[in-house]
Amino acid sequence: MTDSNSKNSKFERITSRNNPLIVTMAKLDQKKYRDETGLFLIDGVKLYREAKAAGSDVFAVFVREDAADELISSAGGIAKDTRVIIVPDSVMDRITEERFPEGMVSAVRYSDSIKREESAAGFDAKFYSGRRILILDGIQDTGNMGAIMRSARAFGIDTIICGPGCADVYGRRVMRASMGAALRLMCVYIDNLSDVCRKLLHAGRRIFAACPDGDKPCGGNFEPEGGFKPLDCIVIGNEGHGVSDDVLSLCTGRVTVPMSEGQESLNAACAATVILWERYKSELRGI
């Protein structure tokens, strides 16, 4: 049950770890409950500011009582239609994963720009005709997923197409690793990447797969087929197995990041960052 308000009449106060709202928030680390409620959690002032700047619908902000004024001020204030709930450390500990929590957790409503469980049969390549697309094929690691999204946003990508097995973008660790970039991207989860690739190719797109044994080196003066074009699509594969054979067989070409002798490979996020930067440089040059 919510206790009496704090000094600001707008604020609520919860002191019990067993408060129904707190119990619900604690469950949001599970995808099942995120989908049931249409809510996900983000930690800290920076991610709240990013969510607000991205136009996200923030349902509630939970703030540690001993630093409430400072945290709210650092956040640039809280939107009028957002619940502000002051909690003690014992309650904050239940709704955060942070080892050293900053003292602010926000519950955000699902975004219309993130589409879940879309069918490849209904994928319309014309709808994405002007969009810069990155394709993720089975990226399971939440840290890699978020870091890739951060780099994608930095280097001109506006659309992420996720195949089966990719981590949930609404997961707290993905959001944290993306540093809010996930809130500014269109993200589409597709049931069949091969069919989507066929449609993109039919629409005139080129698709390049990131591979450790790629036939076109990436880095330095990397210029596949005359250079990356702004609408070229990049595929980043699973951390352990790479791009799936079905998708790989459809790609226009393969790219790789040359490395010092003896180094086996980069992780998915590092490889994606280098390749996306090369694509973006071509776009900046006006190719």
pLDDT tens, per residue, the chain with 287 residues: 333 333 444 789 999 999 999 999 999 999 999 999 999 999 999 999 999 999 999 999 999 999 999 999 999 999 889 999 999 999 999 999 887 788 999 999 999 989 877 889 999 999 999 999 999 999 999 999 999 999 999 999 999 999 999 999 999 999 999 999 999 999 999 999 999 999 999 999 999 999 876 555 554 334 466 778 889 999 999 888 889 999 999 999 888 887 777 666 788 999 999 999 989 988 887 75
Q: What is the predicted pLDDT for the residue at 215?
A: 57
Q: What is the predicted pLDDT for the residue at 143?
A: 96
**Residue 104 Cα to chain centre, angstroms:** 20
Domains of the chain, first to last: 12-109 (3.30.1330.30), 114-284 (3.40.1280.10)
Tell me the two tokens of residue 9.
């009449």
CA gap 110, 3 in Å, rounded: 28
Q: Which residues contact 7 (CB under 8 A, 6 or more apart)?
A: none
Q: What is the predicted pLDDT for the residue at 24?
A: 98
Cα angle: 212, vertex 213, 214; to 5 degrees:
100
